[in-house]
Amino acid sequence: MRLNEEQQKILDGKKGRILQSAMMDLVKYGTAVGAEEFVPITSAHNAFQFMGRVARCFPPRGRLLTEKDIDKFSEEIAVARVKVKTTVNPAIMDLRKWRQMGADKSIYDSVMRTVEIARKCGIMANYNCIPYLTDNIPLMGDHISWAETSACLYANSFLGARSNRDSVEISLFSALLGITPNFGMHLDENRKGTDLIDVQCELENTSDWGALGHFTGERVGVGIPVFIDLRRPSVEEAVQLAAATNSSGGGGVPLLFIPGVSPEAPTVEAAFNGDKPRKTYVFDEAAKRAIYQKLNCNPEGKVDMVNLGCPHLTLHEIKELSRMLEGKRVAKGTKLWLQTTSSFRALAEQLGYAQIIEATGAKLFADACLYNWYVNTPVKRTKMNRVATDSVKNAFGARRSFHSNIFFGNTERCIDIAIKGGV
Ligand code: F3S
């Protein structure tokens, strides 16, 4: 890769060990993917949860780090500081209501220590997965380095920003240096459609948009789908489409085009930029039904938890949920957890939505991701084995990673289950 004078100095170690290590890895990565140079970025979004895990992105790798190693590393990275606006994906717990989630005090202390280092480092530890609607909103044409799969796809497709599906490590190195290898979605020539998705059924709610996303991600594999005969989505529907497309296990969709909605694709022709689709897939009623059947392995029976808010709920969704829940009561023995951002929860409290929701016995949590909570919390998973959700990403992830007994259905159906305590 071609480096400018400043980049070479960093590589030579003249700006400290942390930046040198970040530069060495970005150069190795860029070389492996055929990038010839770096491109300046305006923002990053990654994970910054525990200092031990962050430290493992830097040398010495391959050996257990002592507390002393981690303390030294924390001091060094705080001095290195990020060069661009940097936000963070959800944590494992609500930083205010962590006890209500059943989280462990030692894990809470560990996360809070990391929050403090993030602050010193210039990172805004906002812990949400919809930064493009809250604290990190790129403009069309901005080069960014984002690690969250759903956020990256949304930013590329609906804002016209430019990010590869970067790993947590690459995104952190890019944030520290303010640059990233110039390849893939950063280049004009790669931002064009590969496959056509012909939508021949009605999409009635956000879960249907998720089903379309799952179908698309599975079929296209690695590629850029272009949709036809698809109505304009609401922001919340676009969020579910992006989240489900990129978490289908299909391989990787960094960008999708809805002609007339995606800023770079006013028409189908513009979306393909002169190319012909390599394949056309039809999404009809039967295909939609098949996705619901595939993701639904708890068609009957008791439910331990109903989880809504994957990706995090918008203020509009919280308002709608408060309307649906008002005056009702969550069934004994069933939890109803709603996940959102701290900023939207603060507004929901100010506007009275949170109080209506919590009066039913439901919990409105912020900062957290149920997936991360499952992985990191010493609560026996068997207590929460039967989960209902309206999110395809949540349903697919929980089934694949934890073999949970999942009910997948639309939001109204999930609320009904929470009130009745079962399907
Ligand atoms: Fe967000 Fe976690 Fe879902 S990061 S998209 S709530 S799996």
The pair phi, psi for residue 339, each rounded to 5°, is -110, 130
Report the pLDDT value the prediction gives residue 298, as an integer from 0 to 100: 73
Band of the pLDDT at 6, cuts 50, 70, 90? very high
Report the pLDDT value the prediction gives residue 377, as an integer from 0 to 100: 67
CATH superfamily of 296-420: Aconitase, domain 3 (3.30.499.10)
* 3-state secondary structure at position 336: strand
Judge if the beta carbon of residue 80 lies within 6 A of ligand 1. no
Rounded CA-CA distance 243/320 in Å is: 21
Which atom of ligand 1 is closest in space to residue 309's alpha carbon?
A: 6
Across the chain, what does the average pLDDT equal?
94
Rounded CA-CA distance 80/255 in Å is: 32
Judge if the beta carbon of residue 310 lies within 6 A of ligand 1. yes
- Note whether 393 and 245 are within 8 A (CB): no
Report the pLDDT value the prediction gives residue 372, as an integer from 0 to 100: 82
Report the pLDDT value the prediction gives residue 252, as an integer from 0 to 100: 85
Report the pLDDT value the prediction gives residue 397, as an integer from 0 to 100: 85
Percentage above 90 pLDDT, the chain? 82
What CATH number should be reported for the domain whose range is 192-293? 3.40.50
**In this structure, which topology does domain 5-188 adopt according to CATH?**
Aconitase; domain 3 (3.30.499)
Rounded CA-CA distance 356/320 in Å is: 11
- State the distance from the centre of ligand 1 to the C-alpha of 312, rounded, in angstroms: 7
pLDDT tens profile 287-311: 999 999 999 887 678 899 999 999 9
* 3-state secondary structure at position 287: helix
For the chain, helix, strand, coil in percent to 5 are 45, 15, 40
pLDDT tens profile 53-72: 899 899 888 778 888 999 99
Which range, 97-101, 148-152, 316-320, is most confident? 316-320
Domain boundaries, the chain: 5-188, 192-293, 296-420
How long is the chain? Answer: 423
- State the distance from the centre of ligand 1 to the C-alpha of 37, rounded, in angstroms: 32
pLDDT tens profile 131-190: 999 999 999 999 999 998 899 999 999 999 999 999 999 999 999 999 999 999 999 999
pLDDT at 24 over 80: yes
Rounded CA-CA distance 265/158 in Å is: 10
* Cα pseudo-dihedral 132, 41, 191, 149, rounded to 10: -40
Which atom of ligand 1 is closest in space to residue 130's alpha carbon?
A: 1
Rounded CA-CA distance 389/398 in Å is: 10
Fold match flag (5-188 vs 296-420)? yes
pLDDT at 419 over 90: yes
pLDDT at 380 over 80: no
Q: Could you give the residue ranges of the DSSP H alpha helices within 88-234?
A: 105-121, 149-158, 168-177, 206-220
Judge if the beta carbon of residue 393 lies within 6 A of ligand 1. yes
Handedness of CA 186, 192, 197, 199 (dihedral sign): positive
- State the distance from the centre of ligand 1 to the C-alpha of 272, rounded, in angstroms: 30
